[in-house]
């Protein structure tokens, strides 16, 4: 449905988007994920037609968009600032794009009714935006963007201003609506959970470049670069030296220990690598536990209670005093470990990612 081919965009001397290529299948939900300033919104605005690429091409439904202005593209958008008309009711806001496209009056009424019901706002069409909650305003914006049945829906961080609970509810609501209608959707966010929950496909960006383009499970479980591994989840990162490498993966020396890991590329002995461990893959071991490939003694530096889990920050002397993070997802049943206490932690070779050291930017 959408093909982005080697798109770039410069602002003066700044290369905001650098040679980005991606495609979105019809009916899929793609999220462009990355930190602030990585170029994700610039890329979305070029797809929408609000910005002209400095190079490359965009095709929507097989048609080149080079000379097609934004208002000629069949695209619905929901912005971070919802841009609802405050003097209009919810129903009038939803009807506005239909009037601009000169739909028949009877069809406008039917579509407004249909899409307010779709977003579960039937009965609230006469209220103005200030009479609606934040979540209800979001639903009006969604209904307005979808009311004229666009070929493509673009979302520019529309949930970022909501509180955590409402944001998580709206993530599920967005996904329900998108799947019910089958509308091809591109979402921009810096929220990892949002990307993982809502998407069929995730594109991770950093410094204007696409770092990885894959299904959510693959992006999380098989990060292609050190940046992706660091950006998704709570990840401990430390340096090591490659001792050897086989088909099964590298053996890496960190401090006084050698351990096995996995890598997506070949290393040579004495290469310096970046090691990454996700917090949920590190086990806090009790006496007699021997189910981990690597076990080390650690000192608890912080214990953070988060309700459904406890986060332990620990220091590992044997790993050159590396700082690691570990989760306990059953804190009511497991023994508590206080600050300065000594514990044993462990993980398996498949949980330790090794990446080439990335050059400083």
Q: What is the pLDDT of residue 359?
A: 66
Q: Is the pTM of this model over 0.85?
A: yes
Check if the beta carbon of residue 212 is closer than 8 Å to that of residue 219: yes
- pLDDT values of the chain reduced to their tens digit, one per residue, 361 residues: 999 999 999 999 999 999 999 999 999 999 999 999 999 999 999 999 999 999 999 999 999 999 899 988 889 988 877 788 999 999 999 999 999 999 999 999 999 999 999 988 989 999 999 999 888 998 899 999 999 999 999 999 888 877 888 888 888 888 988 998 899 999 999 999 999 999 999 999 999 999 999 999 999 999 999 999 999 989 999 999 999 999 889 999 999 899 999 998 889 999 999 999 999 999 998 877 777 889 999 999 999 988 888 999 999 999 999 999 999 877 667 778 899 999 999 999 999 999 998 766 5
Q: How far, CA to CA in Å, does 116 sit from each of 198, 302, 358?
A: 21, 48, 49
Q: Tokens 């979105």 label which residue?
A: 24
Task: With H, G, I as helix, E, B as strand and everything else as coil, classify residue 70.
Answer: helix
Q: How far, CA to CA in Å, does 318 sit from each of 68, 123, 262, 298?
A: 60, 64, 20, 8
Task: With H, G, I as helix, E, B as strand and everything else as coil, classify residue 313.
Answer: strand
Tell me what percent of the chain is helix, strand and coil, each rounded to the nearest 5.
25, 35, 35
Q: What is the pLDDT of residue 335?
A: 78
Burial 314-340 (b: 16+ CB within 10 A, else e): bebeebeebebbbbbeebeeeeebeee
Q: Which residues contact 70 (CB under 8 A, 6 or more apart)?
A: 48, 49, 50
Q: Alpha-carbon distance 349 to 74, whole Å?
A: 49
Q: What is the pLDDT of residue 174?
A: 85
Q: Which domains does the chain have, with CATH numbers?
A: 2-226 (3.40.50.300), 234-356 (2.40.50.140)
Task: Provide the CA 35 distance to its chain's centre, in angstroms.
Answer: 9
Q: What is the pLDDT of residue 173?
A: 85
Q: What is the pLDDT of residue 358?
A: 76
Pairing relationship of beta strands 272-278 and 235-246 according to DSSP bridges: antiparallel
- In SS3 terms, 255-267 reads as CCEEEECEECCCC
Q: What is the pLDDT of residue 330?
A: 72
């Amino acid at each position: 449905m959408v093909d982005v081919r080697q798109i770039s965009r410069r602002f003066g001397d700044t290369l905001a988007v650098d040679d980005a290529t991606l495609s979105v299948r019809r009916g899929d939900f793609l999220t462009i994920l990355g930190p602030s300033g990585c170029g994700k919104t610039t890329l979305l605005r070029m797809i929408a037609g609000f910005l002209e690429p400095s190079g490359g091409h965009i095709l929507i439904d097989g048609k080149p968009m080079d000379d097609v202005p934004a208002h000629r593209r069949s695209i619905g958008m929901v912005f971070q600032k919802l841009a609802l008309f405050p003097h209009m009711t919810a129903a009038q806001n939803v009807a506005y794009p239909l009037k601009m496209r000169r739909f028949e009056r009877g069809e406008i009424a039917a579509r407004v009714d249909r899409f307010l019901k779709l977003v579960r706002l039937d009965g609230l069409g006469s209220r103005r935006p200030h009479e609606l909650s934040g979540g209800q305003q979001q639903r009006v914006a969604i209904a307005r963007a979808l009311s004229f049945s666009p070929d493509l829906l673009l979302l520019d961080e529309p949930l970022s201003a909501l509180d955590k609970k409402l944001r998580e509810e709206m993530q599920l609501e967005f996904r329900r609506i998108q799947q019910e209608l089958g509308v091809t959707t591109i979402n921009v966010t810096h929220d990892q959970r949002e990307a993982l929950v809502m998407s069929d496909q995730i594109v991770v960006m950093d410094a204007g470049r696409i770092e990885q383009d894959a299904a959510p499970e693959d992006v999380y479980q098989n990060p292609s670069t050190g940046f992706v591994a660091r950006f998704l989840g709570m990840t401990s990162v430390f340096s090591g030296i490659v001792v050897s490498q086989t088909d099964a993966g590298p053996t890496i020396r960190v401090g006084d220990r050698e351990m096995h890991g996995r890598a997506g590329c070949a290393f040579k002995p004495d290469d310096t690598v970046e090691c990454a461990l996700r917090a949920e893959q590190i086990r806090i071991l009790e006496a007699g536990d021997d189910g981990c490939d690597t076990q080390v003694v650690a000192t608890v530096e912080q214990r953070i209670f988060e309700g459904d889990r406890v986060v332990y920050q620990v220091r590992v002397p044997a790993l050159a005093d590396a700082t690691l993070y570990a989760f306990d997802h059953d804190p009511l049943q497991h023994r508590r470990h206080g600050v300065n206490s000594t514990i044993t932690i462990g993980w398996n070779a498949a949980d330790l990612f090794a990446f080439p050291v990335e050059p400083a930017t």
